[in-house]
Amino acid sequence: MGKSCVRFKRLEDLPVDLIGEVVGRTSVEDYIERYEKSRLR
């Protein structure tokens, strides 16, 4: 499993609303920038 993997047995075990809120805080541009920086290593 990778560093960003989330393991769960049932969807009900996840705080889906909270996950959506956290993911929504990151702009597409920021995400791409972080991804590209991670690929330079």
pLDDT, tens only, 5-40: 777 888 888 888 998 998 899 999 999 999 999 898
Which has more confidence, 41 or 14?
14
Spatial separation of the C-alpha atoms in residues 18 and 8, rounded to whole Å: 15
What is residue 12's DSSP assignment?
A: G
CB crowding 2-38: b at 16 or more within 10 Å, else e: eeeeeeeeeeeeeeeeeeeeeeeeeeeeeeeeeeeee
Q: Which residue shows structure tokens 């969807």?
A: 11
Q: How many CA atoms lie within 13 A of 20 on its CB side?
A: 3
> How many domains are contained in the chain?
1
Domain that holds residue 7: 1-41
